[in-house]
Amino acid sequence: MDNSKIIQALKDCSAVQFGEFTLASGQKSNFYINIKKASTDPKTLKIIADCIAELLPSVTETPAENVIIGGVELGGVPIATAVSLSTQCPLLIIRKSEKEYGTKSRYVGDLDLNKEIILMEDVTTSGGSVKKAILALKEDGAVIRKVITIVDRESGAAESLKEIGVELIPLVSSSELVE
């Protein structure tokens, strides 16, 4: 996959920032991938969604009509929504915890256990938040084999997800962005 278009789009929307940052994982970094700049910029989000839509058939043997596009709140939701629109696959939003009111559901959308869920992530570092979502989904009987992330910070997410039988598919690695 040629990811030069995504790399350029991320740079053009100022998603790559340099300085001193503390990441969600607690790790310190001299650069930050402010992916919210990409997911709130229609042009960049469309490039990402179209790239993922083009990539999907090569990362799963499951026919498109049996695929659900999932996104973990908050960062994965705009990406998953854009990919769902681009592919016409149903959307499933995974909350970080069950609601305390109403339906008390952890999910927005239909969790169809006969379909494969492909999760979308904005940035992966250790993979902790997406791993929690995967474990909850699997506990409920769902099938998840792949997570597509816009940027992998190359800090253990791939290895962590592999431990639970899930492959991480990055569109871009952080080393490609900061070269």
Measured CA to CA, the distance from residue 1 to residue 50 in angstroms comes to 13
Residue 95 annotated as lining a ligand binding site: yes
**Higher pLDDT pick, 50 / 178:** 50
What digits encode the pLDDT tens for the residues 35-62? Answer: 999 999 999 999 999 999 999 998 888 8
pLDDT (0 to 100) of residue 166:
97
What digits encode the pLDDT tens for the residues 77-113? Answer: 999 999 999 999 999 999 876 666 666 678 999 999 9
Across the range 135-150, mean pLDDT stands at 95
What digits encode the pLDDT tens for the residues 115-134? Answer: 999 999 999 988 888 999 99
Measured CA to CA, the distance from residue 139 to residue 136 in angstroms comes to 5
What digits encode the pLDDT tens for the residues 26-36? Answer: 888 888 889 99
Residue 127 annotated as lining a ligand binding site: yes
The answer to whether 13 and 37 have CB atoms below 8 angstroms apart is yes
Residue 121 annotated as lining a ligand binding site: yes
Residue 99 annotated as lining a ligand binding site: yes
Distances (CA, A) of 147 to 17, 90, 140, 170: 25, 16, 18, 8
What digits encode the pLDDT tens for the residues 11-26? Answer: 999 999 999 998 777 8
pLDDT (0 to 100) of residue 99:
61
Instruction: Please state the pTM of the whole predicted model.
Output: 0.92
Residue 126 annotated as lining a ligand binding site: yes
Residue 125 annotated as lining a ligand binding site: yes
pLDDT (0 to 100) of residue 178:
83
pLDDT at 136 over 80: yes
pLDDT (0 to 100) of residue 13:
94
The three-point CA angle 60-148-50 to 5° equals 85
The answer to whether 60 and 67 have CB atoms below 8 angstroms apart is yes
Residue 104 annotated as lining a ligand binding site: no
Residue 145 annotated as lining a ligand binding site: no
pLDDT (0 to 100) of residue 61:
85
- Domain at 35, CATH number: 3.40.50.2020
Structural domain total, the chain = 1
Contacts of 61 (CB under 8 A, 6+ apart): none
- Which residues form the domain of 146? 4-177
pLDDT at 165 over 80: yes
DSSP strand E in 28-165: where?
28-33, 67-72, 91-94, 107-108, 116-124, 143-152
Residue 108 annotated as lining a ligand binding site: no
The answer to whether 127 and 160 have CB atoms below 8 angstroms apart is yes
Residue 175 annotated as lining a ligand binding site: no
pLDDT (0 to 100) of residue 1:
67
Residue 124 annotated as lining a ligand binding site: yes
What digits encode the pLDDT tens for the residues 105-120? Answer: 789 999 999 999 999 9
Backbone angles phi and psi of 111, in degrees to 5: -85, 95
pLDDT (0 to 100) of residue 114:
94
H or E element that contains 16: strand 16-22
Backbone angles phi and psi of 178, in degrees to 5: -105, 10
